[in-house]
């Protein structure tokens, strides 16, 4: 338990046909830490997180999670291990009730597969009030997701991860398309997560949000980790300058 490292990835490679997307990525995530993955489009960020969430399998490399070497082969398995992903708002089904969304793929059922709808509704209601900060009585566990604002939807997606006791939460562009006030709310969710001693991997195009919330920055470039910095080692302007330089020259020198 004294080991502070939650996730270790060593030499991860992945190619799709002839296209090599990851060329040996090393990544570590500690408990109580928010790691930002930054890099240009095509740097391999989303492929890397899809490997962590079990969508893709790496061609080569090792993954260690909570001190054990693991092989991830499905989304379901990752979720059972406590790895949750928040994909923008697109991982919600708009016409369905909140409770159906919260429990999608992990319904509370009896042996025959029939759901305990009352329990799912009750838990969703509790989640709404206690963890997501919904106060309006117009929104209940029975409301379809389509009536929510973008920030509220993101809250549901994050709340869903919290409910299932995730230890590692992966946020893929969680603030895209949100109003400023709603962005603050999402960033607060993420900070709250760290305060519980859990870890997060954060991907966002907006470098101001990234700098604001993350403890460490891992810069990916063309399938490799080009550099990484703790927040104390680099200012926001330096981080931006580094990324621009990488983009133009492909090196840090």
Binding site for another protein (CB under 8 A): 55, 74-76, 79, 85, 87, 90-96, 100, 103-107, 109, 113-115, 117-118, 121-126, 128-129, 137, 140-142, 146
Task: Return the number of the residue (126 or 205) whose C-beta is nearest another protein.
Answer: 126
Q: Do 13 and 192 touch, CB atoms closer than 8 A?
A: no
Find tokens 């500690």 and name the residue: 30
Task: Return the number of the residue (104 or 252) whose C-beta is nearest another protein.
Answer: 104
CA–CA separation, 24 vs 171, rounded Å? 22
Strands 34-38 and 199-203, sheet pairing: parallel
How near is the Cβ of 201 to another protein at its closest, in Å? Answer: 16
Task: Return the number of the residue (89 or 182) whose C-beta is nearest another protein.
Answer: 89
Task: Return the number of the residue (87 or 229) whose C-beta is nearest another protein.
Answer: 87
Secondary element (H or E) of residue 185: helix 180-195
Task: Return the number of the residue (19 or 138) whose C-beta is nearest another protein.
Answer: 138
CA–CA separation, 111 vs 37, rounded Å? 41
How near is the Cβ of 55 to another protein at its closest, in Å? Answer: 8
How near is the Cβ of 126 to another protein at its closest, in Å? Answer: 6
How near is the Cβ of 161 to another protein at its closest, in Å? Answer: 11
CA–CA separation, 96 vs 103, rounded Å? 11
CA–CA separation, 153 vs 170, rounded Å? 16
Tokens of 146: 């389509």
How near is the Cβ of 118 to another protein at its closest, in Å? Answer: 6
CA–CA separation, 38 vs 219, rounded Å? 5
């Amino acid at each position: 338990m004294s080991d502070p490292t939650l996730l270790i990835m060593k030499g991860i490679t992945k190619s799709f046909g002839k296209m090599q997307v990851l060329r040996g990525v090393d990544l570590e995530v500690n408990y109580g830490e928010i790691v930002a993955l930054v890099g240009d489009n095509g740097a391999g960020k989303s492929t890397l997180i899809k490997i962590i969430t079990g969508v893709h399998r790496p061609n080569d490399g090792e993954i260690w999670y909570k001190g054990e070497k693991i092989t991830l082969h499905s989304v379901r398995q990752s979720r059972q291990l406590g790895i949750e992903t928040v994909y923008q708002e697109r991982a919600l089904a708009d016409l369905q009730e909140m409770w159906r969304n919260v429990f999608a793929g992990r319904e509370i059922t009896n042996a025959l597969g029939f759901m305990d709808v009352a329990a799912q509704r009750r838990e969703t209601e509790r989640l709404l009030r206690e963890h997501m900060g919904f106060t309006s009585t117009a929104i209940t566990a029975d409301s379809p997701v389509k009536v929510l604002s973008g920030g509220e939807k993101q809250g549901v997606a994050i709340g869903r991860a919290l409910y299932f006791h995730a230890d590692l939460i992966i946020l893929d562009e969680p603030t895209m398309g949100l109003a400023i006030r709603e962005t603050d709310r999402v960033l607060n969710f993420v900070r709250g997560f760290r305060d519980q001693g859990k870890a997060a991997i954060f991907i966002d195009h907006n470098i101001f949000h990234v700098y604001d919330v993350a403890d460490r920055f891992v810069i990916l470039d063309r399938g490799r980790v080009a550099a990484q910095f703790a927040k104390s080692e680099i200012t926001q302007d330096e981080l931006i300058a580094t990324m621009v330089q990488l983009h133009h020259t492909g090196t840090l020198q």
